[in-house]
């Protein structure tokens, strides 16, 4: 069963970012679906999500820096907090000190469901004005 459902309300109108958001939803669904599988499979899927998130955040931050986006510092702080939280969970999981549960994937889902419309969509019009679409 899918954890996350992509729809047009999550569009930022920045094509690269929107494509990455869609892929992130797919990866999160894959991770969630793997929770009943072998620990090695879960670890692999978790690593895919973490690596993709790092790449995605770098993409967003690059655009914001290139255009002197006025809310860059606040946006980066939100990214850094999620990376710290998820990175800590990944480290504990990989060390055998924690299990990855549906509650964890639901936390990330809820973060994305609020972050994209509440924060990412704010930079879309700004980047569009600067010629990035």
In a domain, 49, yes or no: yes
Total count of domains within the chain? 1
CATH number at residue 70: 1.20.120.50
pLDDT in tens, 59-112: 999 999 999 999 999 999 999 999 999 999 999 999 999 888 888 899 899 999
- Residue 8 maps to a domain: no
Q: Which domain holds residue 70?
A: 15-129
pLDDT attached to residue 119: 95
Answer yes or no: are the C-beta atoms of 107 and 3 closer than 8 Å.
no
How many Cβ atoms from other residues are within 10 Å of residue 42's Cβ? 17
C-beta separation of 101 from 109 below 8 A = no
Could you tell me if residue 2 is inside a domain?
Answer: no
């Amino acid at each position: 069963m899918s954890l996350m459902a992509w729809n047009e309300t999550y569009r930022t109108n920045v094509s690269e970012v929107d494509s990455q958001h869609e892929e992130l939803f797919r990866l999160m669904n894959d991770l969630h679906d793997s929770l009943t599988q072998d620990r090695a499979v879960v670890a692999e899927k978790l690593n895919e999500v973490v690596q993709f998130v790092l790449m995605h955040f770098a993409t967003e931050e690059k655009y914001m820096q290139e255009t002197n986006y006025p809310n860059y510092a606040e946006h980066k702080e939100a990214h850094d907090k999620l990376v710290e939280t998820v990175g800590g969970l990944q480290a504990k999981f990989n060390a055998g000190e924690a299990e990855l549960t549906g509650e964890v994937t639901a936390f990330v889902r809820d973060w994305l469901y609020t972050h994209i419309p509440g924060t990412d969509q704010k930079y879309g019009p700004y980047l569009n004005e600067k010629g990035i679409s």
